[in-house]
Homo-oligomer: A and B are copies of this chain.
Amino acid sequence: MRIRPVLETDLDELFTLYAHYTASENRPPLSEARMAEIWREVERNPGVEYFALEQEGRIAATCILSITPSFIRGGSGYGVIEHVVTHADFRRRGFAKALMEFTLEHAWNQGCTEVMLLSGRDLAPAHKLYEGLGFDKHQRTGFIIFKP
């Protein structure tokens, strides 16, 4: 098991993994050209890290950490974690926990004062994982709006 940045050569496997994300609505097809263009944006953005947890030569879990430089709480930024996905073949083995621990450690090392995330209201097992890592779900209310 090792955790490392996602590489462009992982993208096909990453898209397959995203099909394990909450629902099929999450992955309408994008053209190869569009995907490559989006990946260029990821590479251009110094605050965005796509991480992969590799096991037996496959990507077992992934997440994205975005760090926004900011001036409050005496630190230098806040982090947001999104698109936390574990492959169905690799669940209940602690991989998501290991990946989240790695990601939080990375955020603290980058000077983040806080890390936030939003999780589907009914995803109880995920909530248990996040609370076990020290996240508090009572301090903040999560809001979402989709493109009209």
Contact = CB atoms under 8 A, between A and B. Distances in A.
Interface of A: 14-15, 18, 21, 25-30, 34-35, 37-39, 41-42, 44-48, 64, 66, 68-78, 80, 82-83, 104, 108, 112-121, 127, 130-131, 133-148
B108 A121 contact: no
A47 to B, nearest CB: 5
A28 B68 contact: no
A126 B1 CA distance: 43
21 contacts: A26-B73, A27-B73, A30-B71, A38-B69, A38-B77, A41-B47, A41-B77, A42-B69, A45-B47, A45-B68, A104-B145, A117-B142, A117-B143, A118-B140, A119-B140, A135-B143, A135-B145, A136-B144, A137-B142, A140-B142, A142-B143
B136 A145 contact: yes
Contacts of A27: 71-74
B116 A142 contact: yes
Contacts of A69: 38-39, 41-42, 45, 48
Which 8 A-B pairs have CB atoms at the shortest separation, nearest pair first?
A142-B142, A28-B74, A41-B69, A140-B142, A135-B143, A118-B140, A66-B68, A26-B72
A30 B74 contact: yes
Contacts of A114: 144-147
A18, A34, A39, A116 interface centre (most CB from chain B within 10 Å) = A116
